């Protein structure tokens, strides 16, 4: 089991462009979580998804950010019209169905907005 | 409000010295508390959780509900313990984790 995969590992965008971050959960995992880490801060929860459903998006900014976890393929975190303040490390985690549900983290995508 | 506080950004100790990484939390219900560790160039991984009451790599952590603390302790630090340590809380039905800002542990030879 290769673990949670994220790509790209580094992403550079200019202000106004779109950023797409991908997360492939571990085999057998049906729950995906996205966290953001701004410089000098801890990880902050953004969104929790199961296949084709958003369970909790309480940490997502109201505008420009969206997430999906389709029936087939990776989970995608999409940021439209990026601004400098979006520069951060974005981590994805996955967990299997059932309880307790330990979250396994990916290596993160470091987004830099120029 | 749900919050996790790690007051120390950096903790530097000598090899063989005791280590205590502080973590305090704020949560109105019955939380689950975790310690995650990130070694250099590696991904974040679970170190231990309070419900397991286990010792991993010599580390232990006891949940003190009266003081709302979950400090991480090890009696004798090793150089390979040098890493970033995050305390986290899970509360509510959605399984989301609330992290502290982390403490960098540096163990000097």
Sign for the pseudo-dihedral over CA of B64, B69, B72, B75: negative
pLDDT tens by residue, B15-64: 999 999 999 999 887 888 999 999 998 999 999 988 777 888 999 998 89
Give the H or E element holding residue B37: strand B32-38
Start-to-end CA distance of chain B, whole Å, equals 41
Does residue A15 have a pLDDT over 90? yes
A40–B101 C-beta distance less than 8 A? yes
pLDDT of residue A9: 96
pLDDT of residue B34: 94
Which residues in A have their CB inside 8 Å of a CB on B?
3-4, 31, 33, 35, 40-45, 48, 55-56, 58-59, 91, 95, 100-108
SS (H, E, C) chain B: CCEEECCCCEEEEECCCCEEECCEEECCCCCEEEEEEECCCCCCEEEEECCCCCCECCEEECCECCCCECCEEECCCCHHHCEEEEEEEECCCCCCEEECCCEEEEEEC
pLDDT tens by residue, A88-108: 999 999 998 876 578 999 999
Kindly report the backbone phi and psi dihedral angles of residue A44, in degrees, each rounded to the nearest multiple of 5, phi listed first.
Answer: -120, 130
Does residue B92 have a pLDDT over 90? no
What residue of B is the nearest CA neighbor of A56? B94
A43–B97 C-beta distance less than 8 A? yes
CA angle B12, A35, B43 (to 5 degrees): 50
pLDDT tens by residue, A42-90: 899 999 999 889 999 999 998 999 999 999 999 999 999 999 999 999 9
| Chain B residues close to A108, C-beta within 8 Å | 43
Distance from the Cα of B75 to chain A's closest Cα (Å) equals 26
Ramachandran quadrant class, A21 (left: phi over 0; alpha: psi -120 to 50; beta: rest):
beta
Which residues sit opposite B26 in a β-bridge? B3
Residue of A24, A43, A46, A55 to mutate for B, most B C-beta atoms under 10 A = A43
| Chain A residues close to B49, C-beta within 8 Å | 100, 102
- Strand bridging mode A53-56 / A109-113: unpaired
Q: What is the mean pLDDT of residues A3-31?
A: 95
Distance from the Cα of A107 to chain B's closest Cα (Å) equals 5
B96–A42 C-beta distance less than 8 A? no
pLDDT of residue A1: 62
What residue of A is the nearest CA neighbor of B44? A105
pLDDT of residue B53: 74
Distance from the Cα of B87 to chain A's closest Cα (Å) equals 10
Contact A32, A69 (CB under 8 A): yes
DSSP 8-state code for residue B81:
G
> Could you say which of B4, B43, B49 has the minimum Cβ distance to residue A106?
B43
Confidence category of residue B108, pLDDT binned at 50, 70, 90: very high
User: Alpha-carbon distance B67 to A90, whole Å?
Assistant: 32
pLDDT tens by residue, B74-88: 999 999 999 999 999
Tokens of B28: 């109105």
Buried b (16+ CB within 10 A) or exposed e, A22-45: bbbbbeebebbbbbbbeeeebbbb
pLDDT of residue A100: 59
Kindly report the backbone phi and psi dihedral angles of residue B79, in degrees, each rounded to the nearest multiple of 5, phi listed first.
Answer: -60, -35
pLDDT of residue B45: 93
A105–B43 C-beta distance less than 8 A? yes
């Amino acid at each position: 089991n290769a673990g949670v995969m994220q790509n790209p590992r580094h992403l550079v965008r200019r202000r106004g462009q779109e950023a797409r971050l991908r997360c492939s959960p571990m085999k057998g995992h049906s729950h995906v979580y996205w966290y953001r880490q701004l410089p000098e801060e801890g990880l902050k929860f953004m969104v929790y998804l199961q296949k084709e459903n958003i369970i909790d998006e309480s940490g997502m900014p109201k505008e420009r950010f969206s997430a999906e976890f389709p029936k087939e393929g990776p989970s995608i975190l999409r940021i439209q019209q990026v601004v400098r303040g979006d520069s951060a490390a974005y981590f994805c985690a996955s967990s299997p169905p059932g309880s307790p549900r330990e979250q396994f983290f990916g290596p993160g995508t470091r987004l830099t907005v120029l | 409000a749900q919050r996790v506080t790690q007051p120390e950004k950096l903790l530097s100790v000598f090899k063989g010295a005791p280590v205590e990484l502080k973590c305090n939390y704020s949560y109105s219900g019955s939380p689950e508390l975790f310690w995650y560790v990130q070694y250099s160039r590696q991904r974040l991984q679970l170190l231990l959780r309070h419900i397991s009451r286990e010792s991993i790599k010599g580390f232990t952590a006891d949940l003190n509900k009266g003081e709302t603390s979950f400090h991480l302790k090890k009696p004798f630090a090793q150089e390979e313990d040098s890493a970033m340590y995050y305390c986290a809380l899970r509360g509510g039905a959605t399984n989301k984790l609330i992290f502290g800002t982390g403490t960098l542990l540096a163990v000097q030879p």
